[in-house]
Amino acid sequence: MQISDLPYPDPGVPDARSGPRFLLWLGRGQLGGQAKSLAWGLVHFCGIAGLPYALGLGIDAVVRRDGTGLLLVGALLLVIGVAISVGDAMLHRTAVTNWITAAARVQQLLARRTAELGAALTRRVAAGEVVAVSTGDVEKIGWFVEAVSRFLAAAFAVVAICVGLLFYAPAIGVVVAAGVPVLALSVLPLLPHATRRADVQREKAGKATELASDTVAGLRVLRGIGGEELFLSRYREASQDVREAAVRSARMWALISAIQVLLPGALMITVVWYGAALVLDGRLDVGELVAAFSAVATMLYPLRHFEEIAMAYSFSRPSADRAARVLSLTRTEAGGQGVGPVAPPAAPPAAGGDLYDPATGLLAPAGQFTAVVCGDPDLAGRLAERLGGHPVDAAEETASALLGGVALDGLALEVARELVLVQDKDPVLLSGTLRELLDVPASGAVTARQALAAAQCADVLDALLQSAPDGVDDPMDARITERGRSLSGGQRQRIALARSLVTDPEVLVLDEPTSAVDSHTEARIAEGIAALRAGRTTVVLASSPLLLDRADRVVLVHEGRALPAGTHRELMRGEPLYRAVVTRETEPEEKFSEVRALEEELTGIEESA
């Protein structure tokens, strides 16, 4: 895979069982690139390994006054120089390619998983953690992937230098061969401490990123309640914690670097002292001493890659753990693993099927406007996600919602989203023009103007046009800032509703679509939804009487179970629990408990009969 070939046609199915397994999966996926990098690394480092011996041969030729031998050594040095230069250039090229392609693969996997999970992702993983994984973590993962081949080439060069010295100058080569393993392994006892400190730094940095992301997202609200200074002080404390953790981590890595300088220096002094004694005794030639000294000096460069691979792994492992945690999430099971065989998608249901949730017993008949009342907002949010085929909690061992008798989580993702669209209570608006915002996959039966009219966006269009720069005459060309921060909460909600209506899916699920608008506008929106969605299945989770009164049928979900359905007026007259939820009455809970107990007793009598 070359950089010009990115993105991957298919990034594959990652092994997300753990961070190390994910790194191993990435490495296996780039064996070709790793082989190229290793080959050029061997050319480069073998050239470096050959320098000490060429230098020793040159010294010996000078001592013997051998002109022909000196010319041969000069030619050998020229070849070695070319090998070092070309190998270094190509090693850098292939290593960077491995880095970028690995990072791109991880980003594609994260983007695919984010698109698959949709709004359910931030309910399972903090938004700040997703941002941290998608930015800094992918670079650290790519760093380790590309460092592996350079480390292997450097390790081969170190072994080649030691073995060569044993044959070229056995008397001094034994000292070097005994000292090099000590140099390479001397920092191993410190690596667990360095890794733990790096993990602490990563954890604190992730928390600081989450805090910053949450603060920026809620900046308008914070300013409204005067809470900027409070959150700013919290972020200062978090950033100082990150700084202190980074200093502690840097101290450990500085100690490791110092050892990597001190011990090779001690070995070099030992080689020079012992080698000089051997030369004086006539047991070692001057050229051999120079070769041994040069070999030790040369080995400092490849030995640096031992420290780098340790650093790369210690920094990339927590990043890989976070990436694996995100990639292990699936549509059907929050704790699922991204490995193993995947069941083939089910056949799409026939048009006009009912929507049914086995967990609550909720039934939304095809072609009708069904309103759902939940006393618990969290239950309403989980129900909305489940109706879209996205279980929210791994502890929920419930069957998927069914559309026309077909489980939604068994359908291909694109098919499921064509059939069912879920708009949660906090929809996100991306920056761009209103025309771009409404340019979404749709049936084509509903125009943008019709959707905007049904969502009562006339005043929003006027506000966008007034704030637009000169020369913009059509509000559809007016720009919306990131997350729609230039609009009020009610305006953002109505624009998001228009975006959902224009798609015209077979089933539309809306969670509190009018919670931020006034009652007059809410009544007109209820009429607009009912008119525009006539003959299409629509499920609205709300407790507003204005919306409930426009629904064909209303279902109360209490304690996780759907009670018998009816119209809003029928339930207001005959169901006290429904009336208490809708009108916020404070009737004694004991009365509702007695009513439910009586209903359960009657049900038991009927079943026994």
Chain-centre distance of CA 339, in angstroms?
17
Report how far residue 245's alpha carbon sits from residue 138's, in angstroms, rounded to the nearest whole number.
21
Candidates 1.10.1060.10, 3.40.50.300, 3.40.50.970, 2.60.40.1180; correct CATH number of 355-574? 3.40.50.300
Residue 340: is its pLDDT beyond 50? no
446 DSSP 8-state letter:
S
Closest CA to 12 of 145, 102, 124: 102
How far apart, in whole angstroms, are the C-alpha atoms of residue 390 and residue 395? 13
CB 501 within 8 A of CB 447: no
* pLDDT tier, 257 (very low <50, low <70, confident <90, very high otherwise): confident
Residue type, 508: L
DSSP 503-569: H--SEEEEESTTTTS-HHHHHHHHHHHHHHTTTSEEEEE---HHHHTTSSEEEEEETTEEPPPB-HH
- Predicted pLDDT at 60: 81
Percentage of the chain modeled with pLDDT above 70 = 88
Q: For residue 263, which of 296, 302, 305, 308 has the smallest C-alpha distance?
A: 296
| Joined tokens for residue 278 | 């051997």
Higher pLDDT, 409 or 337: 409
Q: Distance from CA of residue 64 to its chain's centroid?
A: 66
**Type of residue at 65:** R
Nearest to 202 by CA among 117, 301, 316: 316
Could you tell me which of 485, 574, 540, 512 has the C-alpha nearest to residue 222?
A: 485
Give whichever of 90-99, 260-269, 380-389, 600-609 has the largest mean pLDDT: 90-99
Q: Give me the pLDDT at residue 507, please.
A: 94
pLDDT score recorded for residue 592: 47
CB 454 within 8 A of CB 399: no
pLDDT band at 222 (very low <50, low <70, confident <90, very high): low
Q: Residue 370 has what pLDDT?
A: 96
More confident residue, 222 or 473: 473
Distance from the Cα of residue 68 to its chain's centroid = 63
Contact 357, 403 (CB under 8 A): no
| Gap between the Cα atoms of 478 and 432, Å rounded | 8
Residue 452 has pLDDT above 70, yes or no: yes
Q: What angle do CA 190, 195, 198 make, to 5 degrees?
A: 125
Give me the mean pLDDT over the 306-313 stretch: 84
d(CA 97, CA 2): 7
Is residue 609 predicted with pLDDT exceeding 50? no
Structure-model confidence comparison of residues 548 and 256, the more confident one: 548
* pLDDT tens-digit map of 19-54: 899 999 998 888 989 999 999 999 998 888 888 888
Contact, 567 vs 390, CB < 8 A?
no
Does residue 336 have a pLDDT over 80? no
Question: Of 111-120, 302-311, 486-495, 541-550, which range is least confident?
Answer: 111-120
Residue 227 is predicted with a pLDDT of 58
Q: 3-state DSSP call for residue 364?
A: strand
- For 397, other C-beta atoms within 10 Å of its C-beta total 9
What is the CA angle 545-549-553, rounded to 5?
Answer: 120
The pLDDT value recorded for residue 527 is 94
How many other CB atoms sit within 10 Å of the CB of residue 65?
8
**Inter-axis angle of helices 67-117 and 286-327, to 10 degrees?**
10
Closest Cα partner for 27 from 134, 150, 145, 167?
A: 145
Instruction: For residue range 152-200, list pLDDT tens digits in order.
Output: 999 998 888 888 888 888 888 888 888 888 887 787 788 788 878 877 8
Question: Which of these, 364, 355, 361, lies nearest to 554 by C-alpha position?
Answer: 364
User: What would the pLDDT profile of 552-603 be if each residue is shown by its tens digit?
Assistant: 999 999 988 999 899 999 999 988 889 888 887 644 444 445 545 545 554 5
Asked if 528 contacts 456 with a C-beta cutoff of 8 angstroms, the reply is yes
pLDDT tens readout for residues 91-141: 999 999 999 999 999 999 988 888 877 766 766 776 666 777 877 788 889
pLDDT of residue 337 exceeding 80: no
Torsions phi, psi for 425 (to 5 deg): -75, -10
191, 197, 200, 202 alpha-carbon torsion, rounded to 10°: -70
CA separation for the pair 205, 559 (Å, rounded): 40
Would strands 537-541 and 507-511 be described as parallel, antiparallel, or unpaired? parallel
Residue 333, pLDDT > 90, answer no
* Greatest extent of the chain over all pairs of C-alpha atoms, in Å: 118
pLDDT of residue 172: 86
What is the distance of C-alpha 381 from the center of its chain?
A: 23
CATH of the domain spanning 3-327: 1.20.1560.10
The mean pLDDT of the chain is 83
pLDDT at position 338 is 45
Query: 117 or 316: which carries more pLDDT confidence?
Result: 316
- Where would I find the beta strands (DSSP E) of 235-365? 355-357, 362-364
Cα 106 to Cα 154: distance, rounded to the nearest angstrom? 27
pLDDT of residue 555: 95
Residue in 23, 192, 17 with CA at minimum distance from that of residue 106: 23
**pLDDT surpassing 60 at residue 606:** no
Q: Is 287 left (phi over 0), alpha (psi -120 to 50) or beta?
A: alpha
**The dihedral formed by the CA atoms of 165, 166, 170 and 173, expressed in degrees to the nearest 10:** 60
Residue 397: pLDDT over 60: no
Q: Please tell me whether residue 402 adopts helix, strand or coil conformation.
A: strand
